[in-house]
Chain A
């Protein structure tokens, strides 16, 4: 397995501002993903964070709203831009380890509330 940390663990932000969430892994990983989990809902994939290149976004998510960086094999950031109350969610990063199949390990999540 892997130890995955996220910062911040939670935040309360005002609408119109932006928040950058960090995901740090204790070992090099093959794949990194970012998910959103709205209150009482399941997980929805936002994008695949590609090392050294632009992230691959899922339908309904765009780079201008959710810019993602992945400068190396152990770290990624997700920014939630120009926030509105509808962005209030838990944001989770996940990783696939080298040699694994499709099993993903998740960070603890960042709980975002937009007022």
Chain B
């Protein structure tokens, strides 16, 4: 198998439970944040994004929360399914015009059947 995620922190949840994945970012000037999902052998896949003028955004089974005071981002996955097993990365744009993203260290999510 691929080596992505072997050395990353791991969150293990029971199928059907809710998952919460956390991310701390470093740049207070960041104004745009994205969560990506990376399955083994694939490139990162966009899940959900949020701008700094919001503190919560919901998608299908996913919610992103942003706490600018403590520079913290979280991804909540409702009713976690086996297909949610992957490595999850947060990424931030520092608010310049470069479109560059800075990626966090990642969390591996394992869903127990």
B42 CB within 8 Å of chain A: yes
Contact in complex: A108, B42 (CB < 8 Å): yes
Q: Please classify how large the interface on chain B is, using the bins under 10, 10 to 19, 20 to 34, 35 or more.
A: 20 to 34
Q: Among the listed A33, A42, A103, A109, which residue makes an inter-chain contact with B34, where contact means beta carbons less than 8 Å apart?
A: A103
Contact in complex: A102, B93 (CB < 8 Å): yes
Contact in complex: B8, A40 (CB < 8 Å): yes
Chain B residue contacts of A99, Cβ below 8 A: none
Cα–Cα, bound, A48→B101 (Å): 11
B43 CB within 8 Å of chain A: yes
Contact in complex: A33, B43 (CB < 8 Å): no
Q: Please classify how large the interface on chain A is, using the bins under 10, 10 to 19, 20 to 34, 35 or more.
A: 20 to 34
Chain A residue contacts of B105, Cβ below 8 A: 41-42
| CB proximity of A90 to chain B, nearest CB, Å | 7
Cα–Cα, bound, A103→B99 (Å): 8
Contact in complex: A92, B100 (CB < 8 Å): no
Cα–Cα, bound, A72→B41 (Å): 28
Contact in complex: A45, B100 (CB < 8 Å): yes
> Which B positions have Cβ atoms within 8 angstroms of A?
2-8, 32, 34, 36, 41-46, 49, 89, 93, 98-106
8 more contacts with CB within 8 A, not counting A42-B106, A107-B43, are A4-B43, A40-B4, A41-B106, A48-B99, A92-B44, A102-B93, A108-B41, A109-B43
> Which A positions have Cβ atoms within 8 angstroms of B?
4, 30-31, 33, 37, 39-45, 48, 90, 92, 94, 96, 101-109, 111
